[in-house]
Structure 1
């Protein structure tokens, strides 16, 4: 019998700092141009909504439509927001959104997780997007809660977790929780974008996914668009 054809896709995680660049200018089109450079199929964003007031999205839908091939997964939490506590998921227009949800996690600062079940070339994967607490104790609690949910998901389909973990250490801490059942990719240093010194942004995957390549997206535009650089990874199902 012929071998089943594998599905190849690319993902990215990007803390866009509410579209405020290192020049202190808010420029959402610049962020979308960075995403165009990366050309991923699925993008998880952090700090995609304003922090106070109505917490509207810093990437208005008409700009996303005009300057990219993405659409936002609708979480239906707040009318003007793109995501939940600033976490959002963008998908290429030909990717099916089979299910989406928000996840409440233990927190010291207001935090949340977004998740979606996505169809790619006839196969489904689960994606979790997150931005963890500044407190190490709360990061571990959050990682434990997220991993429990992701473990349930990966029993049914391949599962990815992505986001800004706020973990300055390269081992221990929240990695002890995530590493029990998931592979934590070392994409490289992503913070600060002008002179990267820390690997705060991470992509993690279950054994049902094979990582082909990963890295940090470094360009002159990315160095200006946010204080974080995007991280990316390519997978085969």
Structure 2
């Protein structure tokens, strides 16, 4: 069993409009997931440095960020980052370039965790439905073209409000969705913008939305999680 989670951390800015990386890390520790996909993990301007300082993750968590070899101070790629157990082996990792009017991207890593190999894709899709579908197609095409195939988890902020339309239709052809529930807005969740999907060979054993007191204040999105196992 592996627990995965996805969290749009909004650059560490909470519903109180304060940036507090320690609070963000507190929320992540509450979820206690093996693998976490983060969105908006880097600052938007300047050096686009990581919102959560590397030393905080190293000293106060069980994770390490996957190094995608992008900007020196960044945690990921266009704000997308993956946190994995310090003992996990990162077999391979790469960024996925997405078609967009504004900078967008996705990240992918093949991981060895507890004797199991799993592929994880983290993403943050566009606000425009047309661009979301183009981006979904780019991600699916990229993953399908990989020389090595592994059981795959895709997760992130898809920005899709409609349950069975748009990019969700595209992903649904090859992936099953975890029924986590609404995660946006954190103060009054009504939208299922954040999603976790698994390929054949994996099943969702349990899932949900993490709605602790800290989570309701740390971002405008609530984190979502899923326990997955071999099908």
Q: TM-score range by the shorter chain?
A: over 0.9
| Structure 1 position 47 matched with structure 2 position 40 | yes
Q: 2:154 aligns with which of 155, 161, 182?
A: 161
Q: What are structure 1's unaligned runs of at least 5 residues?
A: 1-7
**CA drift at 1:226:** 0.5
**CA drift at 1:186:** 2.1
Number of the residue aligned with 2:117: 124
Number of the residue aligned with 1:183: 176
| Structure 1 position 151 matched with structure 2 position 124 | no
Q: Is contact 1:126–1:153 with CA below 8 Å preserved after alignment?
A: no
Q: Is contact 1:216–1:232 with CA below 8 Å preserved after alignment?
A: yes
Q: 1:192 aligns with which of 185, 192, 210?
A: 185
Structure 1 stretch displaced more, 195-204 or 64-73: 64-73
Q: Is contact 1:214–1:233 with CA below 8 Å preserved after alignment?
A: yes
1:96 & 1:79 partners in 2: Cα distance? 21
2:73 & 2:36 partners in 1: Cα distance? 20
- TM-score scaled by structure 2? 0.97
Q: 2:73 aligns with which of 65, 72, 80?
A: 80
**CA drift at 1:93:** 1.3
Q: What are structure 2's unaligned runs of at least 5 residues?
A: none
Q: Is contact 1:29–1:67 with CA below 8 Å preserved after alignment?
A: no
Q: Is contact 1:47–1:86 with CA below 8 Å preserved after alignment?
A: yes
2:34 & 2:97 partners in 1: Cα distance? 26
Q: Deviations over 1:158-213 (max 9, x none)?
A: 01100000001111100111011111222101001011010000001101101101
Q: State the number of aligned residues.
A: 230
1:154 & 1:122 partners in 2: Cα distance? 21
State the SS of the aligned residue for 2:222: coil
